[in-house]
Amino acid sequence: MFSRLPPSVILPLFIGGLLLVGSAYLDIPVLRFPGELVANTIFGVGLSPDELRVKYWVGPLPILIVPGHDNDSWGTQFKGLKESDVNVALGYLLYDLLAKDPRFVPMINRAPDGEYALWFESYMKENKVAIEQFRTQSKVKTRYFAAQGLYDPRRLVHHNPAADNVSLSLYAINKWANDQNVPVVLHLHFNDYPRRRAGEAGEYSGFAIYVPETQLPNARASAALAETVAERLMRVVGPSNLPKEKGLTSSGVEGPIVPDQELIAVGSNGSRDGASLVIEYSYIYEPQLHDAEVRRLFMRELAHQTYLGLKTFFDSTALTREGVSATTLLPYEWPSKTFSDGMRGKDVFALQSALRIEGYYPPSGLSLASCPLSGVYGPCTTFAVKAFQNAKGLSSSGIIDESTLTLIKGVRGK
């Protein structure tokens, strides 16, 4: 509606709305200090990566974990595995790691049973009107800036528009995190994409981290944080090979970080002051999620690598200094038996991880997206084992025999 109105009409509406809503909106630096308009984005001066780091050193640093979706609309699902449940399980693994570190104060907005945490539920109920106003203000502000030619709306990746209640709970998260000065919000998801045969596994694989597009105020801090998290996750999952999801790193290289302007979770319409990331950890149909034992190892490792990525962003030498283990997957107790093509399960998953750490997995010329750590001993693993055996002077059978296993057992995380 507003986009069709001339700016002379929109501006009074916009300012009028601000006065009605009150002080929360007057925190927007653009309005308080018009002179700062030029400094960063049209929405105001956002948090810089160094300002974010300082908050950690002043410490401890609050981090809100938001396992995506809820028990009513659970996102995607595959063969009985609901995305929302996986998101919650991963959320608590990450929560526990952060809680053990005195430099972080983790919070999570879902209970272990997937219901909203009581504090968040009551925040949404008690502040419904204010949250709705926050949403309207954010949208009107964007339309006004766009009408003025000050903001370039770009559709980078198509998303299905969020249902009204979903959109409201995401604005609630942004508003709450802004008001409470929570500098980092992590939205945890597992991916899917529209396809004809939803009952069969799709063809794409890997992870993506959505960050706010550069015109949004929280773009710089979010992108910088995403880089260290992505760097760690790459050890376990490849960048998503879904064509529209291929992002570019700051150095222009294709990678898993995808700038986005429309996702409320990253702070669309300038609705988020601090860093916000949406992490799609892999596709819901990927085999490593569909064997309970493999899933347990995979999720524990995803949480661990996310934690290490966060830690590295704030303190680049912490991991070596504090002797934090590089992976939860090794050392691993393999049973003494032969492993070969056609086997699957956690022993295969750990084997693939060891081969990956040694640089043999995925086999050369292939990517982790086409050869994921899957727990399935197929052609990718056979080729990797052959290369490993070749390099170690063993006969390259592609089968894990006793002498190959002895060498594999010696692999440690690094």
Q: In sequence order, which residues have a C-beta less than 8 Å from that of residue 413 and are 6 or more positions away?
A: 325, 326, 327, 329, 330, 357
Cβ–Cβ contacts within 10 Å for residue 336, how many?
A: 8
Residue 141: half-sphere exposure toward Cβ, Cα within 13 Å? 21
Toward Zn ion, which CB reaches closer, 18 or 263?
263
CA 151 to chain centre: 26
Toward Zn ion, which CB reaches closer, 165 or 180?
165
Q: What is the closest distance, in whole angstroms, from the C-beta atom of residue 189 to Zn ion in the complex?
A: 3
For residues 150 and 42, is the Cβ–Cβ distance under 8 A? Answer: yes
Q: What is the closest distance, in whole angstroms, from the C-beta atom of residue 191 to Zn ion in the complex?
A: 7
Tell me, what DSSP letter sits at residue 33? -
Backbone angles phi, psi at 412, to 5 degrees: -125, 155
Burial of 408 (0-12, 13-18, 19+ CB in 10 A): buried
Residue 211 identity: V
Tell me how far apart the alpha carbons of residues 232 and 207 are, in angstroms, rounded to a whole number.
12
Toward Zn ion, which CB reaches closer, 68 or 362?
68
Q: What is the closest distance, in whole angstroms, from the C-beta atom of residue 222 to Zn ion in the complex?
A: 18
Residue 342 identity: G
Site residues (vs Zn ion, CB under 5 A): 68, 75, 189
Q: What is the closest distance, in whole angstroms, from the C-beta atom of residue 188 to Zn ion in the complex?
A: 9
What does the angle CA 235 – CA 313 – CA 267 come to, to the nearest 5 degrees? Answer: 95
306's tokens: 């996310």
Toward Zn ion, which CB reaches closer, 75 or 106?
75
Q: What is the closest distance, in whole angstroms, from the C-beta atom of residue 113 to Zn ion in the complex?
A: 19
Toward Zn ion, which CB reaches closer, 75 or 247?
75
Q: In sequence order, which residues have a C-beta less than 8 Å from that of residue 157 and are 6 or more positions away?
A: 210, 244, 245, 258, 260, 262
Of 303, 215, 223, 171, which is closest to residue 52 (Cα–Cα)? Answer: 223
Cβ–Cβ contacts within 10 Å for residue 150, how many?
A: 13
Toward Zn ion, which CB reaches closer, 68 or 217?
68
Toward Zn ion, which CB reaches closer, 262 or 273?
262
Tell me how far apart the alpha carbons of residues 272 and 259 are, in angstroms, rounded to a whole number.
15
Q: What is the closest distance, in whole angstroms, from the C-beta atom of residue 73 to Zn ion in the complex?
A: 10
Backbone angles phi, psi at 258, to 5 degrees: -115, 115
Toward Zn ion, which CB reaches closer, 147 or 279?
279
Toward Zn ion, which CB reaches closer, 62 or 75?
75
Q: Give 271-282 as a DSSP string.
A: T-SSEEEEEEEE
Q: What is the closest distance, in whole angstroms, from the C-beta atom of residue 201 to Zn ion in the complex?
A: 17
Q: What is the closest distance, in whole angstroms, from the C-beta atom of residue 91 to Zn ion in the complex?
A: 12
Q: Which residues pair with 186 in a beta bridge?
A: 65, 277
Toward Zn ion, which CB reaches closer, 87 or 382?
87
Q: What is the closest distance, in whole angstroms, from the C-beta atom of residue 413 to Zn ion in the complex?
A: 29
Q: Name the residue with the smallest CB distance to Zn ion.
A: 189
Q: What is the closest distance, in whole angstroms, from the C-beta atom of residue 255 to Zn ion in the complex?
A: 21
